[in-house]
Amino acid sequence: MNNMIIRQGRRILSIVLATSLFCACTPPPRQTGTPSDALYEKYHAEDLSMQESFNQFTADLFRDEISDSGISFHFSIADPASRGIDTVPLTLGDYSLDKMKQGTSDLQEAKKKLEGFNPRKLTSDQRLTYQILYSYIDTELTSDGMELYAQPLTTTIGIQAQLPVLFAEYSFYNKADVDHYLSLLSTIDEYYGQILEFEKQKSAAGLFMSDTAADHVLKSCEAYLIQPDHSFLAETFNTRIDALTDLTDEEKAEYKKQNLKILEEHFIPAYKNLISGITALMGTGTNEKGLSWFPEGKKYFEYLVHSNTGTSYDSVKSLKKAIERQMNSDIKALGQITKDHPEVLDSLDHYSFKYTKPEEILESLKSQITTDFPELPPCSYTVKYVPGALESSLSPAFYLVPPLDRYQDNVIYINNNPRFKNEDLFTTLAHEGYPGHLYQNVYFLSKKPNDLRSILSFSSYSEGWATYVEYYSYTLDNGLDPELGKLLAHNTAVTLGIYAYLDICINYEGWDKEATAKYLGTFYNVENTDITDSIFNSLVENPTNYMEYYVGYLEIMEMRSTAERILKDDFNLKDFHTFLLDVGPAPFSVIQPAFRNWLAKQLRS
| Predicted local distance difference test score (pLDDT) of residue 552 | 98
Among 547, 563, 593, where does a domain finish?
A: 547
One domain, residues 339 and 263:
no
**CB-CB contact of 422 with 384 (8 Å):** no
How many CB atoms neighbour CB 345 within 10 A?
12
pLDDT at 155 over 90: no
pLDDT at 189 over 90: yes
Work out how many domains the chain is built from and give that number. 4
What does the DSSP 8-state code read for residue 245? S
What does the DSSP 8-state code read for residue 185? H
One domain, residues 83 and 129:
yes
**Percent of the chain clearing pLDDT 90 (strictly above):** 84
153 domain residue, yes or no: no
pLDDT tens across 462-482, in order?
Answer: 999 999 999 999 999 999 999
Say how far apart CA 484 and CA 330 lie, in whole Å. Answer: 14
365 domain residue, yes or no: yes
104 domain residue, yes or no: yes
pLDDT tens across 537-578, in order?
Answer: 999 999 999 999 999 999 999 999 999 999 999 999 999 999
Among 123, 146, 169, where does a domain finish?
A: 146
pLDDT at 18 over 70: no
One domain, residues 232 and 181:
yes
552 domain residue, yes or no: no
pLDDT tens across 297-323, in order?
Answer: 999 999 999 999 999 999 999 999 999
| Predicted local distance difference test score (pLDDT) of residue 32 | 36
* pLDDT interval class at 420 (50, 70, 90): confident
- For 166, 342, 351, 359, 363, the CA distances from 480, given in Å and listed in that order, are 36, 15, 7, 19, 18
Say how far apart CA 436 and CA 559 lie, in whole Å. Answer: 18
Mean pLDDT in residue range 399-416: 93
One domain, residues 199 and 228:
yes
**CB-CB contact of 217 with 158 (8 Å):** yes
* 267 alpha carbon, distance to own chain's centre: 26
- For 61, 90, 169, 179, the CA distances from 176, given in Å and listed in that order, are 25, 12, 16, 5
| Predicted local distance difference test score (pLDDT) of residue 387 | 84
One domain, residues 302 and 276:
no
Mean pLDDT in residue range 328-356: 93
**CB-CB contact of 414 with 347 (8 Å):** no
151 domain residue, yes or no: no
One domain, residues 509 and 442:
no
**Biggest CA pair distance of the chain:** 85
pLDDT at 38 over 50: no
Tell me the pTM.
0.90
What does the DSSP 8-state code read for residue 383? E
One domain, residues 173 and 269:
yes
One domain, residues 164 and 276:
yes
| Predicted local distance difference test score (pLDDT) of residue 253 | 97
Say how far apart CA 485 and CA 423 lie, in whole Å. Answer: 15
Among 82, 111, 146, where does a domain finish?
A: 146
One domain, residues 225 and 255:
yes
List residues bridging with 3 in a β-sheet: 399
Q: Which helix (H) or strand (E) holds 409?
A: strand 409-414
One domain, residues 333 and 421:
no
One domain, residues 214 and 308:
no
How many CB atoms neighbour CB 184 within 10 A?
24
| Predicted local distance difference test score (pLDDT) of residue 389 | 77
| Predicted local distance difference test score (pLDDT) of residue 47 | 86
| Predicted local distance difference test score (pLDDT) of residue 9 | 34
8 domain residue, yes or no: no
Q: What is the extent of the structural domain holding 384?
A: 358-448
Mean pLDDT of the chain: 91
Q: Is the previous residue joined to 387 through a cis bond, with omega within 30 degrees of 0?
A: no
